[in-house]
Structure 1
Amino acid sequence: MRLLALEARQNATYYVSRYEQVVGLGADLYVLNGEGTEDFWPADRYRVAGSRSIEALIAAAKEWHAEERFEGVFTFSESGVLAVAAVAEALGLPGIGVEAARASRNKLLMRQAHERGGAAHPHFRFVTTEAEALAAGEAFGYPVIVKPTLGAASHYVFRADDAAELRQRYAQAAQGLTELSWYAMEADGLDLGPHGLLVESFLDGDEFLVEALAWDDEVYLGSIVDRVTAEGDTFDDDVHHAPTALTPAQVEALHEVVTAGARAQGLRRSVMHAEVRFHEGRPHLVEIAVRPGGGGLDHMARISAGHDPIAAVADVARGVRPQAGHYRPTGVHTAAMCLLPPASGRVAHVHVPDGLADRDDVFFLKLTAKPGDLVRRPPAGNSILGFLGVTGTSFEDAMCTAEELAAQVRADLTDPDA
């Protein structure tokens, strides 16, 4: 199993642990970054194209493919899905196609696809001025959501409860478009679709995160995780629990809307991460991404549902049907959360108690922030310190343990301008 992983611009070392999981599955994994550091991956299996242009990435991938004969190409990055689709087509390898990738990356094109395909979704409007945003708010009724079309990880996603808040949040989100790291990590030279802001009607209900697979005429829900965050006017994907509390009938309704959304986006063979809210008793799509979910959701899927999203990525990349079936929880309770900095600032040190990572009930501890990093909290950004995941004997036990241990991980911050 010889695979190529790709990013147009390296996202620090964020995906190294997932690359190591792919190697653990028996793959010979090669990594190509358009822009990246020299010591990112073992030298004999790592190249930097020197540019994040799609032409440079395709040329570098073709040259390497002629030497190594890759079986598939993939990415774990939301900013890499279009580049990978283009490279896969250029190399004649399995892929979802550029059009499906575009509809699965750009939130406006995704919403338009859901509308055409009859998949339940919020009302939406692409806006380019404050006046257009306010008109959408008046048409939909408050609260509304403001979000970038090419964002990720809830960066610059805001809730506005009235026109005054919408004015403020529109200005903050519009400024955020000029600083959006997920957009800056895209390959140059690709048609990404409209880069701007959406105003959407608010889906007032519980949210569920799904690791899924589209394979030919069937969609499989491998894992369902409940989002249990107490919400405000910004969004952190920070507290999750599995197995889901949904009833069998609700799981079936969830399956129907994810299937409709996948087909609307043109996904025939793809790993998917779906986010769904039950609004007025019916599931509505927040989004369907063509990559696994982050933040330990892959570990939760394996432990609480017996589903391996990382193995599914490796299989789909080379055109092999993954070992996946419909949702069957194992009964093991898991809780995971983002480790959040107390404010914006520059990281001086992150303190982790000795022995925390070695506890039997800790299945995932990953720090993504390191000394010197600038972390931004809303409205300036959605930076985190890392992730923590634990097991428990019940929902209450798992959540209590996660909250107790997360409180022990803390960061010393200095003035961001110092």
Structure 2
Amino acid sequence: MKLLAIEARQNATYYVSRYQQVVGLGADVYVLNGEGTDDFWPADRYRIAGSRAVTDLIAAAKEWHAEERFEGVFTFSESGVLAVAAVAEALGLPGIGLEAARASRNKLLMRQAHERGNAAHPSFRFVTDEHQALAAAEEFGYPVIVKPTLGAASHYVFRADDEAELRERYTQAAQGLTELSWYAMEADGLDLGPHGLLVESFLDGDEFLIEALAWDDEVYLGSIVDRVTAEGDTFDDDVHHAPTALTPERIEAVHEVVAAGARAQGLVRSVMHAEVRFHDGRPHLVEIAVRPGGGGLDHMARVSAGYDPIAAVADVARGIRPRAGHYAPTGVHTAAMCLLPPSSGRIGAIHVPDEVAGRDDLFFLKLTAKPGDLVRRPPEGNSILGFLGVTGTSFEDAMSTAEELAAQVRADLIRPQE
């Protein structure tokens, strides 16, 4: 099978390992970057359009498609969702369509869809100045969440507990819009919906990360991962465990809200990464993205639930029903966490001891930063060093091992001006 992967602007080498996973499934993966580096992918299966303009991406994809006859188009990037929908439509290949892609990328349009579809969600308000943000918070009650409509990876997502904190966080988030990398990686010439900030009511319960599949009249929850850590006023999304501790009754309630959200967003055949949070005893949608979750969530899904989100991407791209059923944990405990730099700064070196990298219970270790990179911690950004995941005999065993190993991965920072 021949599949075409697309990034309007290359996100460093972040998705290379996932492209390699698709190759491991037996696919010939071709990569088209609008803007990118020459050495990103094997030369015979790699092209650069030379521009982020969606018209140029479509033209380059059409020319290549005439030569290779691709079976599908896909992306792992949140910033590539709309571009892939546009290219798939232009090539006559399976896709979710531009309208569904837009509702699944832009958080305001997503919330409006959930509202129309009666899928439980937080109260929300699109705001364009501090006065509107304060008015929304007064209506909803503190704490509130401030977030970009076209963000990702929790960049410039803040919790504010009172008026003074909201003023500070609003200013930081508004400034962040001008330098938001996920927005800068979008294709030019597409209607992305409003680019700005949302104020949302706070959901005060536990959070769950779900790898799911919409296929015709059914939604399947392939994997459910529990978020273990309680965030402060920023969202590092750093420690997770699976299988879930949810009861069967709560799993059914989560299934109902995810299915309602998928229908509301117009998703008929799509891979999904859903984030759900409980509030007043009921699950509410944080978001439903139309790509697999990041970090090691695909590995956790395979190990703890027997579901492969990456294989599902390859199948859905070709219009083939993936192997997926309703959630069925394997009984293997997993724990994973983000590896965080100690502060903002430029990386001098990253140290991973051999005794960490060689562990049999380590199922995932990926460094996404390298020496020379400038990392930014909240409120300037949400940079990480990478991800680590382990297996264990119990929740406690897996968590203890993950924390022990993560503490041994160390980054030396130098001053930015040096």
TM tier, smaller = over 0.9
The equivalent of 1:228 in structure 2 is 228
Alpha-carbon distance, 1:355 to partner: 3.4
The equivalent of 2:66 in structure 1 is 66
Unmatched 5+ stretches in structure 2: none
- Verify: 1:401 aligned to 2:392, yes or no: no
The equivalent of 2:246 in structure 1 is 246
Provide the secondary structure at the position in 2 that maps to 1:363: strand
Q: Which amino acid aligns with 1:171?
A: T
Alpha-carbon distance, 1:318 to partner: 0.3
CA deviations on 1:147-187 (whole Å, 9 max, x unpaired) are 00000000000000011100000000000000100000000
Aligned partners of 2:206, 2:72: CA distance in 1, in Å?
37
Aligned partners of 1:250, 1:413: CA distance in 2, in Å?
44
Aligned partners of 1:77, 1:154: CA distance in 2, in Å?
14
The equivalent of 1:200 in structure 2 is 200
The equivalent of 1:85 in structure 2 is 85
**Displacement over 6 Å in runs of 4+:** none
Alpha-carbon distance, 1:416 to partner: 1.6
Alpha-carbon distance, 1:399 to partner: 0.2
Provide the secondary structure at the position in 1 that maps to 2:325: coil
The equivalent of 2:57 in structure 1 is 57
- Verify: 1:183 aligned to 2:183, yes or no: yes
Alpha-carbon distance, 1:357 to partner: 1.9
The equivalent of 1:138 in structure 2 is 138
Aligned partners of 1:38, 1:389: CA distance in 2, in Å?
31
Aligned partners of 1:414, 1:262: CA distance in 2, in Å?
45
The equivalent of 1:159 in structure 2 is 159
Q: Which amino acid aligns with 2:133?
A: A
Aligned partners of 2:416, 2:256: CA distance in 1, in Å?
46
Alpha-carbon distance, 1:356 to partner: 1.7
Alpha-carbon distance, 1:275 to partner: 0.1
Provide the secondary structure at the position in 2 that maps to 1:51: coil
Q: Which amino acid aligns with 1:260?
A: A
CA deviations on 1:37-85 (whole Å, 9 max, x unpaired) are 0010000000000001101100000000000000000000000000000
Aligned partners of 1:357, 1:218: CA distance in 2, in Å?
40
Alpha-carbon distance, 1:231 to partner: 1.3
Aligned partners of 2:213, 2:417: CA distance in 1, in Å?
45
Alpha-carbon distance, 1:415 to partner: 1.2
Aligned partners of 1:118, 1:139: CA distance in 2, in Å?
21
What are the equivalent positions in structure 2 for 1:345-384 lying under 5 Å apart? Answer: 345-384=345-384
The equivalent of 1:332 in structure 2 is 332
Aligned partners of 2:51, 2:74: CA distance in 1, in Å?
19
What are the equivalent positions in structure 2 for 1:208-223 lying under 5 Å apart? Answer: 208-223=208-223
The equivalent of 1:114 in structure 2 is 114
Aligned partners of 2:188, 2:224: CA distance in 1, in Å?
35
Alpha-carbon distance, 1:417 to partner: 2.7
The equivalent of 1:47 in structure 2 is 47
Unmatched 5+ stretches in structure 1: none
Alpha-carbon distance, 1:110 to partner: 0.1
Alpha-carbon distance, 1:361 to partner: 0.2
Provide the secondary structure at the position in 2 that maps to 1:233: coil
Aligned partners of 2:352, 2:93: CA distance in 1, in Å?
43
TM-score of the pair, normalised by structure 1: 1.00
What are the equivalent positions in structure 2 for 1:277-296 lying under 5 Å apart? Answer: 277-296=277-296
Provide the secondary structure at the position in 2 that maps to 1:5: strand
The equivalent of 2:313 in structure 1 is 313
After the TM superposition, which of the residue ranges 136-145 and 350-359 deviates more from structure 2?
350-359
The equivalent of 1:147 in structure 2 is 147
Alpha-carbon distance, 1:367 to partner: 0.3
Q: Which amino acid aligns with 1:154?
A: S
Alpha-carbon distance, 1:207 to partner: 0.1
Aligned partners of 1:311, 1:258: CA distance in 2, in Å?
21
- Verify: 1:35 aligned to 2:58, yes or no: no
The equivalent of 1:22 in structure 2 is 22
The equivalent of 1:3 in structure 2 is 3
TM-score of the pair, normalised by structure 2: 1.00
Alpha-carbon distance, 1:230 to partner: 2.5
Q: Which amino acid aligns with 2:284?
A: H
Alpha-carbon distance, 1:358 to partner: 2.0
Aligned partners of 1:417, 1:103: CA distance in 2, in Å?
41
Aligned partners of 2:36, 2:155: CA distance in 1, in Å?
23
Q: Which amino acid aligns with 1:276?
A: V
Q: Report how many aligned residue pairs link the two structures.
A: 418
Q: CA RMSD in A?
A: 0.5
Alpha-carbon distance, 1:309 to partner: 0.1
Q: Which amino acid aligns with 1:246?
A: L
The equivalent of 1:169 in structure 2 is 169
The equivalent of 1:343 in structure 2 is 343
CA deviations on 1:377-418 (whole Å, 9 max, x unpaired) are 000000000000000000000000000000000100111232
Provide the secondary structure at the position in 1 that maps to 2:324: coil
The equivalent of 2:300 in structure 1 is 300
Q: Which amino acid aligns with 2:268?
A: R
